Chain A
Amino acid sequence: MKDELALLQKLKAGENNAYQEVLRLYGSMLLGYAKRMVGSKDNAEEVVQEAIVSIFASIDRFEGQCSIRSWLFRIVHHKAVDYLRKNSRFVKLTPRDDETMEEMFDHKGFWSNPPNVWKHDLEERLNAKQMLELVQTKMDSLPHNYKEIILLREVYKLDTEEVCNTLNITPVHARVMLHRARQALYRAVDDHLQQTGQGAATS
Protein backbone atom coordinates (compact mmCIF):
# COMPACT_ATOMS: atom_id res chain seq x y z
CA MET A 1 0.00 0.00 0.00
CA LYS A 2 2.87 2.31 0.91
CA ASP A 3 4.62 1.35 -2.34
CA GLU A 4 1.43 2.03 -4.29
CA LEU A 5 1.18 5.50 -2.77
CA ALA A 6 4.79 6.26 -3.66
CA LEU A 7 4.26 4.99 -7.20
CA LEU A 8 1.11 7.10 -7.54
CA GLN A 9 2.97 10.21 -6.40
CA LYS A 10 5.70 9.56 -8.96
CA LEU A 11 3.10 9.03 -11.70
CA LYS A 12 1.41 12.30 -10.81
CA ALA A 13 4.79 14.03 -10.88
CA GLY A 14 5.17 12.75 -14.45
CA GLU A 15 8.30 10.72 -13.82
CA ASN A 16 9.09 8.48 -16.79
CA ASN A 17 10.59 5.77 -14.61
CA ALA A 18 7.25 5.54 -12.76
CA TYR A 19 5.49 4.71 -16.03
CA GLN A 20 8.19 2.15 -16.78
CA GLU A 21 7.58 0.68 -13.36
CA VAL A 22 3.84 0.46 -14.13
CA LEU A 23 4.64 -1.30 -17.40
CA ARG A 24 7.01 -3.67 -15.66
CA LEU A 25 4.49 -4.51 -12.96
CA TYR A 26 1.26 -4.56 -14.94
CA GLY A 27 2.06 -4.35 -18.67
CA SER A 28 2.11 -8.09 -19.23
CA MET A 29 -1.20 -8.71 -17.52
CA LEU A 30 -2.88 -5.75 -19.24
CA LEU A 31 -1.73 -6.99 -22.64
CA GLY A 32 -2.85 -10.55 -21.89
CA TYR A 33 -6.21 -9.33 -20.61
CA ALA A 34 -6.72 -7.13 -23.69
CA LYS A 35 -5.73 -9.96 -26.01
CA ARG A 36 -8.29 -12.31 -24.54
CA MET A 37 -10.91 -9.57 -24.71
CA VAL A 38 -10.36 -8.47 -28.31
CA GLY A 39 -9.06 -11.73 -29.70
CA SER A 40 -5.73 -10.85 -31.32
CA LYS A 41 -2.33 -9.64 -30.19
CA ASP A 42 -2.16 -6.79 -32.71
CA ASN A 43 -5.53 -5.41 -31.66
CA ALA A 44 -4.63 -5.91 -28.00
CA GLU A 45 -1.45 -3.88 -28.46
CA GLU A 46 -3.52 -1.09 -30.02
CA VAL A 47 -5.97 -1.22 -27.10
CA VAL A 48 -3.21 -1.13 -24.47
CA GLN A 49 -1.36 1.68 -26.25
CA GLU A 50 -4.57 3.73 -26.27
CA ALA A 51 -5.06 2.88 -22.62
CA ILE A 52 -1.56 4.05 -21.71
CA VAL A 53 -2.14 7.34 -23.53
CA SER A 54 -5.42 7.67 -21.63
CA ILE A 55 -3.55 7.04 -18.37
CA PHE A 56 -1.27 10.02 -19.14
CA ALA A 57 -4.33 12.15 -19.72
CA SER A 58 -6.24 11.11 -16.61
CA ILE A 59 -3.54 10.58 -13.99
CA ASP A 60 -4.26 13.96 -12.36
CA ARG A 61 -7.89 12.92 -11.80
CA PHE A 62 -6.98 9.59 -10.18
CA GLU A 63 -7.03 10.05 -6.42
CA GLY A 64 -6.19 6.53 -5.32
CA GLN A 65 -9.74 5.52 -4.34
CA CYS A 66 -8.95 2.05 -5.68
CA SER A 67 -5.73 0.14 -6.34
CA ILE A 68 -3.57 1.21 -9.27
CA ARG A 69 -4.06 -2.27 -10.68
CA SER A 70 -7.86 -2.03 -10.79
CA TRP A 71 -7.64 1.52 -12.18
CA LEU A 72 -5.40 0.26 -15.01
CA PHE A 73 -7.69 -2.70 -15.67
CA ARG A 74 -10.68 -0.32 -15.74
CA ILE A 75 -9.06 1.84 -18.42
CA VAL A 76 -8.12 -1.20 -20.53
CA HIS A 77 -11.64 -2.59 -19.98
CA HIS A 78 -13.18 0.60 -21.40
CA LYS A 79 -10.80 0.65 -24.36
CA ALA A 80 -11.44 -3.03 -25.11
CA VAL A 81 -15.23 -2.62 -24.93
CA ASP A 82 -14.99 0.50 -27.16
CA TYR A 83 -12.93 -1.51 -29.63
CA LEU A 84 -15.39 -4.40 -29.64
CA ARG A 85 -18.40 -2.10 -30.04
CA LYS A 86 -16.70 -0.18 -32.84
CA ASN A 87 -16.09 -3.44 -34.64
CA SER A 88 -19.56 -4.80 -33.84
CA ARG A 89 -18.05 -7.71 -31.99
CA PHE A 90 -19.37 -7.05 -28.50
CA VAL A 91 -21.41 -10.10 -27.52
CA LYS A 92 -23.93 -9.67 -24.74
CA LEU A 93 -25.27 -12.50 -22.65
CA THR A 94 -28.70 -13.73 -23.56
CA PRO A 95 -31.76 -14.41 -21.38
CA ARG A 96 -31.30 -18.08 -22.22
CA ASP A 97 -28.78 -18.38 -19.39
CA ASP A 98 -31.51 -18.07 -16.76
CA GLU A 99 -33.99 -20.12 -18.76
CA THR A 100 -31.49 -22.99 -18.92
CA MET A 101 -31.23 -22.97 -15.14
CA GLU A 102 -35.03 -23.14 -14.84
CA GLU A 103 -35.21 -26.07 -17.28
CA MET A 104 -32.75 -28.09 -15.23
CA PHE A 105 -35.02 -28.39 -12.17
CA ASP A 106 -38.62 -29.33 -11.43
CA HIS A 107 -41.01 -27.09 -9.47
CA LYS A 108 -39.69 -28.56 -6.20
CA GLY A 109 -36.11 -27.62 -7.07
CA PHE A 110 -34.82 -31.13 -7.81
CA TRP A 111 -33.11 -32.22 -11.01
CA SER A 112 -35.57 -32.69 -13.87
CA ASN A 113 -32.72 -33.40 -16.25
CA PRO A 114 -29.89 -34.93 -14.22
CA PRO A 115 -26.43 -33.62 -15.09
CA ASN A 116 -24.28 -35.40 -17.63
CA VAL A 117 -21.57 -37.39 -15.94
CA TRP A 118 -18.27 -37.21 -17.71
CA LYS A 119 -16.78 -40.62 -18.29
CA HIS A 120 -14.89 -42.03 -15.32
CA ASP A 121 -11.62 -42.26 -17.19
CA LEU A 122 -11.89 -38.67 -18.36
CA GLU A 123 -9.13 -37.49 -16.08
CA GLU A 124 -6.82 -40.12 -17.56
CA ARG A 125 -7.67 -39.44 -21.20
CA LEU A 126 -8.00 -35.72 -20.79
CA ASN A 127 -4.80 -34.87 -19.00
CA ALA A 128 -4.45 -31.62 -17.12
CA LYS A 129 -2.99 -29.82 -20.13
CA GLN A 130 -5.82 -30.86 -22.43
CA MET A 131 -8.41 -29.92 -19.84
CA LEU A 132 -6.75 -26.55 -19.46
CA GLU A 133 -6.79 -26.01 -23.23
CA LEU A 134 -10.44 -27.00 -23.44
CA VAL A 135 -11.42 -24.66 -20.59
CA GLN A 136 -9.35 -21.86 -22.12
CA THR A 137 -10.98 -22.30 -25.54
CA LYS A 138 -14.48 -22.40 -24.07
CA MET A 139 -13.71 -19.41 -21.85
CA ASP A 140 -12.73 -17.42 -24.94
CA SER A 141 -16.03 -18.30 -26.59
CA LEU A 142 -18.17 -16.94 -23.73
CA PRO A 143 -20.03 -13.62 -24.01
CA HIS A 144 -17.57 -10.82 -23.25
CA ASN A 145 -18.93 -9.87 -19.84
CA TYR A 146 -18.79 -13.50 -18.67
CA LYS A 147 -15.32 -14.05 -20.08
CA GLU A 148 -14.12 -10.82 -18.54
CA ILE A 149 -15.23 -11.52 -15.00
CA ILE A 150 -13.64 -15.00 -15.08
CA LEU A 151 -10.43 -13.50 -16.44
CA LEU A 152 -10.29 -10.84 -13.74
CA ARG A 153 -11.11 -13.19 -10.88
CA GLU A 154 -9.46 -16.47 -11.82
CA VAL A 155 -6.62 -15.58 -14.16
CA TYR A 156 -5.51 -12.19 -12.83
CA LYS A 157 -6.63 -12.91 -9.25
CA LEU A 158 -8.35 -9.59 -8.62
CA ASP A 159 -10.36 -9.61 -5.40
CA THR A 160 -14.06 -8.74 -5.36
CA GLU A 161 -13.43 -5.07 -4.57
CA GLU A 162 -10.96 -4.73 -7.45
CA VAL A 163 -13.37 -6.47 -9.84
CA CYS A 164 -16.14 -4.07 -8.76
CA ASN A 165 -13.86 -1.07 -9.27
CA THR A 166 -12.72 -2.31 -12.66
CA LEU A 167 -16.19 -3.02 -14.00
CA ASN A 168 -17.97 -0.33 -11.98
CA ILE A 169 -20.48 -2.77 -10.54
CA THR A 170 -21.70 -3.60 -7.02
CA PRO A 171 -20.42 -6.65 -5.08
CA VAL A 172 -23.86 -8.30 -5.42
CA HIS A 173 -23.82 -7.78 -9.18
CA ALA A 174 -20.26 -9.15 -9.35
CA ARG A 175 -21.25 -12.27 -7.41
CA VAL A 176 -24.26 -12.93 -9.62
CA MET A 177 -22.31 -12.33 -12.82
CA LEU A 178 -19.42 -14.55 -11.71
CA HIS A 179 -21.83 -17.33 -10.79
CA ARG A 180 -23.57 -17.12 -14.15
CA ALA A 181 -20.26 -16.95 -15.99
CA ARG A 182 -19.02 -20.11 -14.27
CA GLN A 183 -22.28 -21.92 -15.04
CA ALA A 184 -22.03 -20.84 -18.68
CA LEU A 185 -18.45 -22.10 -18.83
CA TYR A 186 -19.53 -25.40 -17.27
CA ARG A 187 -22.26 -25.80 -19.89
CA ALA A 188 -19.85 -24.97 -22.72
CA VAL A 189 -17.36 -27.60 -21.55
CA ASP A 190 -20.15 -30.10 -20.90
CA ASP A 191 -21.65 -29.55 -24.39
CA HIS A 192 -18.23 -30.09 -25.96
CA LEU A 193 -17.68 -33.32 -24.04
CA GLN A 194 -21.12 -34.62 -25.02
CA GLN A 195 -20.57 -33.74 -28.66
CA THR A 196 -17.19 -35.45 -28.74
CA GLY A 197 -18.42 -38.55 -26.94
CA GLN A 198 -16.47 -37.89 -23.77
CA GLY A 199 -19.47 -37.51 -21.55
CA ALA A 200 -22.45 -39.69 -20.82
CA ALA A 201 -25.90 -39.07 -19.43
CA THR A 202 -26.16 -39.91 -15.77
CA SER A 203 -27.64 -43.26 -14.84
Chain B
Amino acid sequence: MMTCKDVLQRLSDIVDGEAPLLTRWSFYIHIAMCKNCRKYFQQFRDIHEATQHVEPEDLNEEFFDIMNSVLQSKPDSSSEK
Protein backbone atom coordinates (compact mmCIF):
# COMPACT_ATOMS: atom_id res chain seq x y z
CA MET B 1 0.00 0.00 0.00
CA MET B 2 1.42 3.34 -1.04
CA THR B 3 1.62 6.18 1.44
CA CYS B 4 0.86 9.79 0.54
CA LYS B 5 4.60 10.50 0.50
CA ASP B 6 5.12 7.62 -1.97
CA VAL B 7 2.41 9.12 -4.17
CA LEU B 8 4.08 12.50 -4.20
CA GLN B 9 7.44 10.97 -5.05
CA ARG B 10 5.96 9.23 -8.08
CA LEU B 11 4.01 12.12 -9.56
CA SER B 12 6.66 12.97 -12.13
CA ASP B 13 6.94 9.39 -13.38
CA ILE B 14 3.15 9.19 -13.59
CA VAL B 15 2.69 12.37 -15.64
CA ASP B 16 5.58 11.31 -17.89
CA GLY B 17 4.02 7.86 -18.36
CA GLU B 18 7.25 6.28 -17.10
CA ALA B 19 5.95 4.47 -14.01
CA PRO B 20 5.82 0.65 -14.18
CA LEU B 21 2.37 -0.96 -14.37
CA LEU B 22 2.31 -2.11 -10.74
CA THR B 23 3.30 1.36 -9.54
CA ARG B 24 0.55 2.92 -11.68
CA TRP B 25 -2.05 0.57 -10.21
CA SER B 26 -0.97 1.27 -6.63
CA PHE B 27 -0.85 4.98 -7.40
CA TYR B 28 -4.36 5.19 -8.82
CA ILE B 29 -5.83 2.99 -6.07
CA HIS B 30 -4.37 5.38 -3.51
CA ILE B 31 -5.59 8.41 -5.47
CA ALA B 32 -9.10 6.97 -5.59
CA MET B 33 -9.18 6.63 -1.81
CA CYS B 34 -7.26 9.72 -0.67
CA LYS B 35 -8.90 13.11 -1.17
CA ASN B 36 -5.73 15.08 -0.35
CA CYS B 37 -3.55 13.21 -2.81
CA ARG B 38 -6.28 13.36 -5.46
CA LYS B 39 -6.45 17.15 -5.18
CA TYR B 40 -2.68 17.51 -5.12
CA PHE B 41 -2.37 15.30 -8.22
CA GLN B 42 -5.03 17.29 -10.08
CA GLN B 43 -3.32 20.60 -9.29
CA PHE B 44 0.11 19.16 -10.09
CA ARG B 45 -1.19 17.96 -13.44
CA ASP B 46 -2.72 21.39 -14.19
CA ILE B 47 0.69 23.02 -13.71
CA HIS B 48 2.39 20.33 -15.75
CA GLU B 49 -0.03 20.92 -18.62
CA ALA B 50 0.52 24.68 -18.41
CA THR B 51 4.31 24.26 -18.67
CA GLN B 52 3.79 22.30 -21.87
CA HIS B 53 2.04 25.31 -23.39
CA VAL B 54 4.76 27.83 -22.61
CA GLU B 55 5.69 29.12 -26.05
CA PRO B 56 9.29 29.11 -27.21
CA GLU B 57 10.36 32.59 -28.36
CA ASP B 58 10.44 33.47 -32.03
CA LEU B 59 13.74 34.33 -33.62
CA ASN B 60 13.42 37.89 -34.84
CA GLU B 61 14.75 39.03 -38.19
CA GLU B 62 17.27 41.42 -36.65
CA PHE B 63 18.93 38.60 -34.73
CA PHE B 64 18.86 36.39 -37.80
CA ASP B 65 20.70 39.14 -39.73
CA ILE B 66 23.31 39.44 -36.98
CA MET B 67 23.88 35.69 -37.00
CA ASN B 68 24.15 35.65 -40.76
CA SER B 69 26.87 38.29 -40.59
CA VAL B 70 28.67 36.14 -37.99
CA LEU B 71 28.40 33.25 -40.46
CA GLN B 72 29.77 35.38 -43.27
CA SER B 73 32.81 36.33 -41.19
CA LYS B 74 33.53 32.67 -40.35
CA PRO B 75 36.78 31.39 -41.86
CA ASP B 76 35.76 29.28 -44.85
CA SER B 77 37.21 25.91 -43.94
CA SER B 78 36.03 24.32 -47.18
CA SER B 79 38.23 26.62 -49.24
CA GLU B 80 41.21 25.89 -47.02
CA LYS B 81 41.01 22.16 -47.68
Whether the Cβ atoms of A185 and B51 lie closer than 8 Å is yes
Whether the Cβ atoms of B78 and A154 lie closer than 8 Å is no
Contact with B along A47-89 (1 / 0, CB 8 A): 0110011001000000000000000000000000000000000
CB contacts (< 8 Å) of A132 on chain B: these are 50, 53-54
- Contact for B12 among A31, A117, A178, CB less than 8 A: A178
Most buried by B among A28, A115, A117, A182: A115
Whether the Cβ atoms of A111 and B11 lie closer than 8 Å is no
Interface size on B, residues (CB 8 A): 45
Q: Residue B29 at the A interface, CB < 8 A?
A: no
Whether the Cβ atoms of B57 and A35 lie closer than 8 Å is yes
CB contacts (< 8 Å) of B11 on chain A: these are 179, 182-183
- Contact for B48 among A14, A32, A182, CB less than 8 A: A182
CB contacts (< 8 Å) of B36 on chain A: these are 111, 114-115, 202
Complex Cα spacing A27 to B77, Å:
22
Whether the Cβ atoms of B6 and A28 lie closer than 8 Å is no
Whether the Cβ atoms of B51 and A179 lie closer than 8 Å is no
CB contacts (< 8 Å) of B81 on chain A: these are 14
Whether the Cβ atoms of B78 and A14 lie closer than 8 Å is yes
Q: Residue B59 at the A interface, CB < 8 A?
A: yes
B69 to chain A, nearest CB (A): 10
Complex Cα spacing A53 to B74, Å:
8
Whether the Cβ atoms of B67 and A23 lie closer than 8 Å is yes
Most buried by B among A27, A118, A135, A189: A135
- Contact for A179 among B12, B35, B58, B74, CB less than 8 A: B12
Q: Residue A173 at the B interface, CB < 8 A?
A: no
Instruction: Spell out A's residues near B (CB within 8 Å).
Output: 13-16, 19-20, 23, 27-29, 31-33, 35, 45, 48-49, 52-53, 56, 101, 104-105, 108-111, 114-115, 117-118, 128, 131-132, 134-136, 139, 150, 154-156, 175, 178-179, 182-183, 185-186, 189-190, 202
Given contacts A101-B8, A135-B50, 6 further A-B contacts (CB under 8 A): A14-B76, A27-B63, A49-B70, A132-B54, A139-B54, A179-B12
